[in-house]
Amino acid sequence: MTKQEKADNIARILDELYPTTPIPLEHADAYTLLVAVLLSAQCTDVRVNQVTPLLFAKASTPFEMVQLDVSDIKDIIRPCGLSPRKSQAIHDLSTILIEKYAGEVPQSFEALEALPGVGHKTASVVMSQAFGVPAFPVDTHIHRLAWRWGLSDGKNVERTEGDLKALFPRESWNKLHLQIIFFGREYCPARSHDAQKCPICSKFGIEELFNK
């Protein structure tokens, strides 16, 4: 079986298991999604969704956020980890959004990645989930599974993103990246993985990859 045939079969299985892909991070608009994704770095979506209602009750727009002290933001988001850095980034990017974009979140990778605390993955999530622009955000689940399934060599997330974009149709990227995340959490975890019960690893006999 070629790598492309394997990718096509994996996409079919994911479509069967996850015909719909709700966005894991709760948000109301592009700005609240941007903040939520920033908070999700090295933190679970569940924890972020517990914290953001408290934050957004005080400030759900850039104009409201800059009225808070950085220390106030830090106290609220502390459970998400890295609170000193994240709180400063949220305050700073909110200021930039007001000064450069009239309080709106820009709809380009370049502009998003220029914001404090916003890397390529965060920008990709916002572009895909807020604006519907095809993107393939690669998180730890996707990076790990792309290697486990033999779709990429696992050297780095940039390589994984490029390999996956080459294997799957552009119009499927936004849905597919969420499907892979959901699948990794439910069937294909990093530890205590039972390859015989995994709908993908068992089908394609690729369990030997992660035993090396």
Residues carrying CATH 1.10.1670.10, the chain = 3-21+136-211
The whole-model pTM stands at 0.91
Residue 49: which of 85, 24, 20 has the closest Cα? 24
Domain 30-129 has CATH 2.40.50.140: no
User: In this predicted structure, what is the pLDDT of residue 212?
Assistant: 37
**CB of 108 within 8 A of CB of 82?**
no
Residue range(s) in the chain whose domain bears CATH number 1.10.340.30: 30-129
Phi and psi at 22, nearest 5°, equal: -65, 145
Over residues 141-194, the pLDDT tens digits come to 899 999 999 999 878 999 999 999 999 999 999 999 999 999 999 999 888 888
Active-site residues: which are they?
121, 139
The tokens of 9 are what? 């079969």
Considering only the top CATH level, what class is 3-21+136-211? mainly alpha
For residue 79, what pLDDT is reported? 97
CA-atom Rg of the chain in angstroms: 18
With beta carbons less than 8 A apart as the criterion, state whether 154 and 10 touch.
no
* Low-confidence residues of the chain: pLDDT under 50: 207-212
**Token pair recorded at residue 151:** 């779709």
Give the up-direction half-sphere exposure of residue 123: CA atoms within 13 A in the CB hemisphere. 16
Angle at 138 between CA 136 and CA 144, to 5 degrees: 130
Q: Which amino acid is at 137?
A: P
End-to-end CA distance of the chain: 21
pLDDT the model gives residue 155: 85
